[in-house]
Structure 1
């Protein structure tokens, strides 16, 4: 098929049928959130999601086939310069359309994420999209279209619902990247494999090992070793989480009258809503305006990182969730790191920004050297301020406990272990900043890490 025909057919436009499905799903999600006992909604919601996802997978497949044709024409056809430039232009457009199709798939799977978060804790669910060996994001869901074994998954889903057990197909979510079906009735999410054969290939065996490691970790609130780290333990929050979701919801309600007026719910934290068609120059001006110590995040309703966080479908009103989901607006969140570090200081903790791609902050006790206690907070944890509208003041108070209160021991008790290389390197650098070079050894005290 000609690339122009494919692009015309697969442009990013939400049609009447899709918008009707979006409205139904938003309203059903809102109803289910306020009445989790409405299990009768779970099957029709997933029927809609299967239909929408399969339709968009077909769109994505056509676009990828078109991209392959264009690449082949450029590599093997030896077109004239003018024709080659035209082909490259078409290829750029197709690449953009592929990105749009992938964002639309994430859009539909946001509803599956909402189902999971209605019944399960967000801090448990995040582990289901992370590799149990490396703690990196696992690949997103595969294709539903033509999937062998889907009939078995669907039959088990219906069986669970008939027995009063809330459940969701993992492929209908962004967050559930283990197993095929997730049962949501217990203390922790329980994922199941729905294999048509009892025999496992090498990949299936690796998945089974990872899945068991994950289930044991969740059941025991820790492990002797998990995700490449020794002595891993989970600890409940000490205080009620403070967020500004209501303030953001009010901003979206007022959006359009003064679209770029920033709102600051507390010192050091700013939300700015922007039209999706904002120019790069206008955006750069907004980002460059605050102090140099300010971090800026720009997110929309189909951001690929939402899988790690509480869904906005559950924190915004139905109308505003639909607006944000449709992609008509962007959210710019800005955090003043000087203010955040000052919040930690009020709890006797010195916070040093790192932002090295893994960890956001290095915490030590005020007036104490790193050798007497050091803790690193991950960039994922800091991003909860952005995606979940957490308060800076609350964030600092809660996570200062990493140094001021003892951690519960992992199952089997603490054991001596050599931290991974990247942790040892961080520790060496921290000690080198605080001590004379001759006093810095090649190893240090056992450390704790939270992400």
Structure 2
């Protein structure tokens, strides 16, 4: 389905590029959102049409299989358009703050999406608020145009933290409305105070800004992609224990990729898998990481495969170089890297969300160690043993 929308795709990329160069270009911000809304509604109409045929009594098994594949293609197409919406949010807002808009406030699991954009009774009111904000030079986005922002209807983007707003056509006091307001209150309080006693059920959740500039290897990734399209395969090793691969899908898998290079305990991130299954969130979308529009087009169409391999033993060695004891446990789903500061039992865990940035955002493995490198030596007395987990 996305193959038929090439012109819109490249126009969306051009408008997004304008925003990356000038965040005050609210004309491009408005135009991109109008384009995305039209394209998403278009795919929703396609899904409805296919589902209506699928329910027909005369559809044989072969036709059913075909229609189901077409429905999935439409859903993937809508996901791609919303990835451009995610990119808008990540251009204006702090990536770590955006993560909180993806999860439920009561527990750390993804909040369900809002469903079809064209089904919303209050869409007209949401658009009115969006355009009013833009007319007053306040950057804003309709949250239903994103995959990541799942709270509120309109998000104001005038500061680094999102300001989420619920839009109601008529006053409502039902249970659902109460839960929505409660969730927004929790998020607003967290963004204002940098802490919460209610978010995710954690009685002491805190956040603290990283002090050093981020190190990422986006350029090396894009060079790999260029090589893969020209010669069939590209690779790079920005750091010890970190390997980037890009492979044209019509080529056979090189031995270096099949064996994960020199990784002793490989942790592989195949970009096509989470993007194809529509669960990339809440990371920086590949729409921003892959700079060239032709390269991005090749990726979303499956013409190239991108894989980043991290050696888990290298993560432990980085911790050891800082004077601590680290252990990576792949069976620990939420916080796989544990760090022990000394014999007094003090320690901390690094979340899978944070570590996943190495493979999903091209972040340096050293980047994810900055938080405890900067704080643990002086603040070790503040850690209360293995039960304390930072908000990362």
TM-score of the alignment, normalized to the shorter chain, above 0.5: yes
Partner of 1:99: 72
Select which of 89, 104, 109 maps to 1:116: 89
Partner of 1:137: 110
Contact 1:364 1:374 in 2 (8 A): yes
Moved more, 136-145 or 25-34: 136-145
Is 1:295 aligned to 2:267, yes or no? Answer: yes
After TM superposition, the structure 1 = structure 2 runs for residues 23-422 of structure 1, keeping only pairs within 5 Å, are 23-69=10-56, 87=61, 89-276=62-249, 282=253, 286-290=257-261, 291=263, 293-300=265-272, 304-319=278-293, 320-355=295-330, 356-365=332-341, 368-369=342-343, 372-401=345-374, 403-406=376-379
Contact 1:385 1:391 in 2 (8 A): yes
Q: What's the CA shift for 1:278?
A: 6.8
Contact 1:376 1:450 in 2 (8 A): no
Cα separation, 2, equivalents of 1:306 and 1:120 = 18
SS at match of 1:256: helix
Cα separation, 2, equivalents of 1:408 and 1:138 = 36
Q: 1:98 to 1:353 in 2, by over 3 A?
A: farther
Q: What's the CA shift for 1:180?
A: 0.7
SS at match of 1:47: helix
Structure of higher CA gyration radius: 1
Cα separation, 1, equivalents of 2:196 and 2:271 = 34
Cα deviations by residue, 1:315-335 (Å, 9 ceiling, x for unpaired): 332433343344322211111
Q: What's the CA shift for 1:287?
A: 4.3
Partner of 2:390: 449
Moved more, 231-240 or 182-191: 182-191
SS at match of 2:3: coil
Partner of 1:428: none
Q: 1:56 to 1:226 in 2, by over 3 A?
A: same
Q: Which residues of structure 2 form unaligned runs of 5+?
A: none
Q: 1:303 to 1:33 in 2, by over 3 A?
A: farther
Contact 2:232 2:251 in 1 (8 A): no
TM-score normalized with structure 1 length? 0.79
Q: 1:449 to 1:284 in 2, by over 3 A?
A: farther
Cα deviations by residue, 1:288-316 (Å, 9 ceiling, x for unpaired): 45445111111135563433112333333
Q: What's the CA shift for 1:108?
A: 0.1
Contact 1:349 1:400 in 2 (8 A): no
Q: What's the CA shift for 1:261?
A: 3.7
Cα separation, 2, equivalents of 1:380 and 1:67 = 38
Q: 1:278 to 1:374 in 2, by over 3 A?
A: farther
Q: 1:92 to 1:361 in 2, by over 3 A?
A: farther
Contact 1:235 1:408 in 2 (8 A): no
Q: What's the CA shift for 1:40?
A: 1.2
SS at match of 2:280: helix
Cα RMSD of the aligned pairs, angstroms, is 2.7
SS at match of 1:352: strand
Moved more, 48-57 or 245-254: 245-254
Cα separation, 2, equivalents of 1:278 and 1:141 = 39
Contact 1:269 1:335 in 2 (8 A): yes
Moved more, 196-205 or 318-327: 318-327
Q: What's the CA shift for 1:446?
A: 4.6
